Amino acid sequence: MTQLRFALAQIDTCVGDLEGNASSVLQFSRMAAAHHADVVVFPEMTLTGYPIEDLALRRTFREAAWNKADQLAGVLRDEGLGNLYVVVGTVGSAQPLAQTSAGERKDEETARGPRDVEDESKAEGKPTNRLVVLHDGVVYAGYDKHFLPNYGVFDEFRIFQSGTRTTILEIGGVRIGFAICEDIWQDGGPVAVLATCGIDVLLTINGSPYEEGKTHTRLELAAKRAAQVGAPLIYVNQVGGQDDLVFDGGTFVVDADGTLLERSPMFMEDLGYFDFDSQARRQKPGKIHELPDPDEEVYTACVLGLSDYMTKNHFTGVTLGLSGGIDSALVAAMAADACGGEHVWGVSMPSMYSSDGSKDDAADLARNIGGHYDVQPIEPLFDAFQGQLNLEGIAAENLQARIRGVIVMAYSNSKGLLALATGNKSELACGYSTIYGDAVGGYAPIKDLLKTRVWELARWRNKATVAGMGIGGLHMVGNESGNRGIEPDGGVIIPVNSIEKAPSAELRPGQKDSDSLPEYAMLDKVLAAYIEKAHGRADLIADGFDERTVDTVMRLVDRAEWKRRQYPLGPKVTALAFGRDRRLPVTSAFAE
C-alpha cells in the first residue's frame, strides 16, 4: 500500500513579484512539510503571477522567472525540504521540454534527470505557460499547457505557444498526470492521452477567475475528467485580485466517481490536504468547506478585488463622493470592509438641488462605517463657472458632476488615496454617468453589478450586520484579526432610506433616474439579454420586450461605448463584464 499526502496551497500571488511569490511558496512549503506532505501543489503561474499578459514577451522577465525557479529549488533543499515535490507554475519558452512521454514508466529516481529541464528563457519564439516540479534542489520536471484560451478575459493564444507533450511523474509508485487549467476544459488533448496511461491521480493547477455560478460548473467538469481518467482529480486554484480579475480559490479534490473529497474556502489563502491511498477503492474524504451564500459570495468578490488592488498598488486608503444614494453607500461599505472604515474618506458635495434627506443619509453612512466625513458644497464653484460659461440643460448638470470629480481627485492627490468611482453596470451600460465627473477614479468596485443587484447586496450587507456577522462573516485575505472592517454600535450599515428611495442624480429639481431610463427592474432584464447573451434587436423582441424599450436601450448602450473605454477598472463578477469580456467598436453604424 502506498499513501501519498498532497498539500493544496491556495495562495494569492502578484504579477511580476517574483521575490514575493517565491517567498509565499517557501512559506507554504514549510507548513506542508511540517504536516508530513509529500507533494505541495500551487496555482497556475505561481512564480510570475497570473495573468502576465505581454510581460511574457519580455526576455528579461522570462530570464528572471527561470532564475527564481532555479534559486527556489536550491533554497528548498538548503532548508531541508529537498524531499518535497513542489509543483509551481511559471513562464517557459518555445524550446521543447526534454520530458518523459506519457506512455513510459520510470521509477521516481529516474523519471527526471537533475538537469533535464534546462534554462530556456533565451529561446526564440513564443513563451509557454509552464508547470515545473522542484525537487532535490533542481527543477526536476516540467509540462507546458496545451490549450490556450482566447475568449472572454483570456488572451493566451496571442502570447503563448502550446505544449505538445504529456507528463507523468511517478512518486513512491503513484503515477501523477499533469494538466493546466484550460487543458481540462477542452475535450481531447493531454487528458485524453492520460486516460490511456493508467495514472493514479490527475493534478491540475489553475488560474480560474471568479464569476457568479462558476463554482458548480468547475465541480461538474472535474467529475467528468476524473471519470475519464479513472482517478481522483486535484484542482488547485489561485485566490486574490489582479487588476479587474478576482480569483476565488475554492480548491477541491474529487474522486474517480465524482465524490467531493476536499474543498478549500473561497476568497482566502488556505493550505489543505489530500491523502491518497493507492489500495483504496474509494478515497477517504477530508475537510469540505461550505460555499457562501450567493449574495455574500458576490459581495466578498468585490471587496477582495478592491482590497488586493489597494495592497498590490500600495494604497492604504480610499476617497469617494457620498451622495446619500445606494451606489456610493454600497461602495463605501465595501471599502470599509476592504481596508477599515478609518481609511475611508467620504466627501459630501451638496448642490442647490441636494435634498436634506440625501445629506442626512450620507452623514449616517459615514458614521456607520467609522469613516472620515467632509462636506464640500459645490454651489460657490458652480456659480463661479456659470459666471463665465452660463451653461444650461445637460451641460449645466454635467458641470456639477465634473466639479465633484475635481474635488474627489483633489482628495486623492493631496492625501495619497485611491479614488473610487461609484457607478453600477446599468449606468455604465447606458452611459448614465458624466465622463470626467462621477466617472473619475482609479477603481470601480460595483461596475459589474446591475442596479437591481446593488440593492440586493446592500440588503444582504445589512442583514449580515444585524445577524452579528460583521466582517468576521466575510472570507477576507489577510484579515488576521477577523474584524478589519465595519462594526457599528447597532442597527444597519447602509441607511434604509438609501435603499428604498427612488434613485436620482439630483442635478435638477425633482430629477429621477426613471426620467432618462426605463425602470431598473425592466432595464436590467433587457441589458442582461443584450449584453451577456448578445441578443440583437429581433432576438430581444422575440424575448418579449416591447420595441420602444428595446430601441431605447440599444441606442443608449451603443452610444456609450466611448465612455466605457475610459471608465476605471473594477472587479469582474458576472459571466460578461465590460472591458476584456466585451470588445465592440466605438464607431459603428450597425443597430440591429
pLDDT band at 458 (very low <50, low <70, confident <90, very high): very high
Maximum average pLDDT range among 5-14, 531-540, 577-586? 5-14
Mean pLDDT over 128-139 rounds to: 94
**Which amino acid does the sequence have at 132?**
V
Is 44 one of the catalytic residues?
Answer: yes
* Percentage with pLDDT > 70 across the chain: 87
Catalytic residue, from 44, 120, 427, 506: name it: 44
Mean pLDDT over 454-481 rounds to: 66
For 225, other C-beta atoms within 10 Å of its C-beta total 24
CA-nearest of 485, 20, 50, 440 to 245 is: 50
Q: What is the pLDDT of residue 94?
A: 58
Mean pLDDT over 118-137 rounds to: 77
For the sheet with 418-419, list strands across it: 372-375, 344-348, 318-321, 418-419
Is 532 one of the catalytic residues?
Answer: no
- Per-chain mean pLDDT for the chain: 87
Tens-digit pLDDT profile for residues 383-438: 999 999 999 999 999 999 999 999 999 999 999 999 999 999 999 999 988 999 99
For 171, other C-beta atoms within 10 Å of its C-beta total 19
Catalytic residue, from 120, 156, 181, 339: name it: 181
Q: What is the pLDDT of residue 118?
A: 47
The greatest distance separating any two alpha carbons of the chain, rounded to the nearest whole angstrom, comes to 87
For the sheet with 174-180, list strands across it: 168-171, 174-180, 201-206, 233-237, 252-254, 260-263
DSSP sequence for 404-467:
HHHHHHHHHHHHTPEEB----HHHHHHT-S-TTTTT-SSB-TTTTS-HHHHHHHHHHHHHHHHT
Catalytic residue, from 68, 145, 425, 447: name it: 145
Q: Sign of the C-alpha dihedral, residues 207, 151, 54, 162?
A: positive
Give Rg (Cα) of the chain. 26
Q: Which residues of 360-398 are buried (b: 16+ CB within 10 A; e: fewer)?
A: ebbbbbbebbbbbbeebebeebbeebeeeeeeeeeebbb
pLDDT band at 331 (very low <50, low <70, confident <90, very high): very high
Cell numbers standing for residue 39? 507533494
Tens-digit pLDDT profile for residues 16-68: 999 999 999 999 999 999 999 999 999 999 999 999 888 888 899 999 999 99
Residue with the larger pLDDT of the pair 103 and 563? 563
For 15, other C-beta atoms within 10 Å of its C-beta total 17
pLDDT band at 121 (very low <50, low <70, confident <90, very high): very low
Cell numbers standing for residue 151? 475568449
Is 302 one of the catalytic residues?
Answer: no
DSSP sequence for 42-110:
--TTTTT-S--GGGGG-HHHHHHHHHHHHHHHHHHHHTT-TTSEEEEEEEE-SSPP----TT----TTT
Mean pLDDT over 461-477 rounds to: 60
Tens-digit pLDDT profile for residues 435-457: 999 999 999 999 999 999 999 99
pLDDT over threshold 60, residue 489: no
Q: What is the pLDDT of residue 427?
A: 93
pLDDT band at 511 (very low <50, low <70, confident <90, very high): low
**3 state SS of 240:** strand
Least confident of 121-125, 461-465, 473-477: 473-477
Q: What is the pLDDT of residue 271?
A: 97
DSSP sequence for 478-489:
T-TTS--S---S
pLDDT over threshold 90, residue 470: no
pLDDT over threshold 80, residue 491: no
Tens-digit pLDDT profile for residues 285-299: 999 999 999 999 999
